[in-house]
Amino acid sequence: MTKTFIATVIALSIISCSAEQPEQIAENKTATELELPTRPNILWLVAEDLGPWIPPFGDSTVATPNLSRLSAEGIRYPNMYSPSGVCAPSRAAIATGMYPTSIGATHMRTGSYMDETGNAKYEAIPPAEVKMVSEILRMNGYYCTNNSKTDYQFKHPVTAWDESSKYAHWRNRAKDQPFFAIFNFTQCHESGLFEPYGFRKEELRHYVAGDRSYHDIGWGKRTTEEEVTVHISKDADFPIPPYLPDNEVVRRDMWKMYNNIAEMDKQLGAVLQQLEDDGLLENTIVFFYGDHGGPLPRQKRFVYDSGLNTPMIIRYPNKQQAGAIDKQLTSFVDFAPTLLSLVGISPPKYLQGQAFLGAHQAKEERKYIHGASDRFDGFTDAIRAVRDGQFKYVRNYRPEQGYYKPLVYREKIPTTQELLRLRDEGKLDSIQALWFRETKDMEELYDCFADPHELNNLANDPAYKEKLAELSAEIDRWIKEIGDQPNLPESELIAQLWNGADEKPVTVNPVINVVDGKVTISSSTEGASIGYKIINPSGERSKTWLVYQEPFTPAPGSMLKAQAHRIGFGASEVVEYILERE
């Protein structure tokens, strides 16, 4: 066992613009040393479209027994933020440790709505040295699986995962091999509010080696409302935010949202049970988090905390620091360095985040988190935001545009339809009408303690002049540091990513060289990852694409397959080579 140190955890109160400050987590806690395995397993349990609306974070509207247990046995992080209020840019940040605005991943999505924008399909292209964090773990002996959503704003290389599908599972790894596994839960997605109501489910299966078969762990096809398990009464007292009307339509969507949260908790519990059944719980660090904030109007896609803030829980082996709260500011760009730090790998220097745990934990905690909002579907905007422990600053680069964008997808939500109806009838109150202003303020400033829903703009209040200047300067510093170009036309962004070419660049085919039976593989594309498979003369083959790192010596007569792929480029062709027999 090795000792990993984390900073002192002091929980005085929740610092969050999107939730009340619950009494049950307002106690002082102090974290001491953590005893971790040298190569711990890592399990990520990821919910979609989830704000801090679960009992461990002060909202007891619906019971979540599995998350409540995880919280009681782990550490809560109330101040986790996505750099974007929508999924694909968020996943780009998680996968690479880079801000979406710095690598061309900020628009939702890079391969969609080209008819509306007039642009070609493209992918985010980070600097050549950037690798997906899962690939780095694979290079260090970890078995890495994703079940099963990708959506990174780029196609992942074959080197990224041992498995990435609905069948992916740690149970498919070699005996005693450490693993990094992600399970994505879709129940809370905004589409779960559409009518007719029914859980939008994806099959989640596990592989049972004994009988070499796959088994559902509890769900597969989409259900109808009649088939839905009702976890909460439709007449419950729902905490409706002031920017939404309190009526029957909104209450039905609130019921669906909380019912979906409870269903997600049930499915998440099935995966935790598998971990426990396998005897791996106390050798595994378990992360739970959402991919950004909530699904309702003025939540998803916004840079307010309702769109960026999501709950996070981390459970360590043997329930170390059970019940503690760490209220430091954390961002999705910190996930990659923190993951590497926890397993003892020095994070690469190019990462824009910092480790908040582990052997390579940053010496100082974050003072700010940052967020951005650009194109969603066919509608482009340009917004940047920064938040410290109490205040949020928002800069609107297109103040002449209103906030509301008529996204067809979002307008499938009954609450959105109800807001539009009341707007047209002139029946929205002053708070509910804020979303439909024809223009935006160039600058916004909010006190997230006094104004948790970010409704009262203090930017023009002389009493907050210094705070406005501080956070405005921090936006400027951050933009310069990461090379962000706010309000850059997407066509110009694509031209920069493609280095002025008319088409997306393609990774050059790998070259396989064999000298005295030793194989080397290379590609002339800078930064290309190279995956390979070996098929032995007996027919035995690599189960997954291996990550090429150094020369190797396969059996004479083997067939080799290789593919090169730099993130954001097109993948090369698969090249084959047959070694001579002795």
The burial of 267, by beta-carbon neighbours within 10 Å (0-12 exposed, 13-18 middle, 19 or more buried), is given as buried
Q: Which two tokens stand for residue 220?
A: 């597969």
Contact 443, 394 (CB under 8 A): yes
505: phi > 0 → left, psi -120 to 50 → alpha, else beta; which? Answer: beta
104: phi > 0 → left, psi -120 to 50 → alpha, else beta; which? Answer: left
Length of the chain: 582
Q: Are strands 383-387 and 309-315 parallel, antiparallel or unpaired?
A: unpaired
Q: Which two tokens stand for residue 269?
A: 């519990």
Half-sphere exposure of 316 (CA within 13 A, CB side): 22
> Which distant-in-sequence residues (6+ apart) come within 8 Å of 235 by Cβ?
none
Give the residue from 447, 352, 300 showing the smallest Cα distance to 92.
352
> Which distant-in-sequence residues (6+ apart) come within 8 Å of 273 by Cβ?
none
Give the residue from 289, 308, 304 showing the smallest Cα distance to 85.
308
Active-site annotation holder among 17, 87, 144, 188: 87
Q: Are strands 518-522 and 75-81 parallel, antiparallel or unpaired?
A: unpaired
> Which distant-in-sequence residues (6+ apart) come within 8 Å of 119 by Cβ?
490, 491, 494
Residue with tokens 């202003």: 437
Q: Is 87 a catalytic residue?
A: yes
Contact 518, 530 (CB under 8 A): no
Task: Using alpha carbons, list the distances in angstroms from residue 304 to 85, 250, 454.
Answer: 8, 20, 7
Contact 174, 548 (CB under 8 A): no
What is the CA angle 260-261-262, rounded to 5? 90
Q: Which two tokens stand for residue 301?
A: 């896609």
The H or E element that residue 496 is part of is helix 490-497
What is the CA angle 448-454-456, rounded to 5? 105
Rounded CA-CA distance 215/417 in Å is: 40
Give the residue from 386, 381, 385, 384 showing the smallest Cα distance to 398.
381
Contact 503, 118 (CB under 8 A): no
Rounded CA-CA distance 104/123 in Å is: 8
Task: Using alpha carbons, list the distances in angstroms from residue 157 to 1, 350, 543.
Answer: 34, 19, 16
Catalytic (active-site) positions: 87
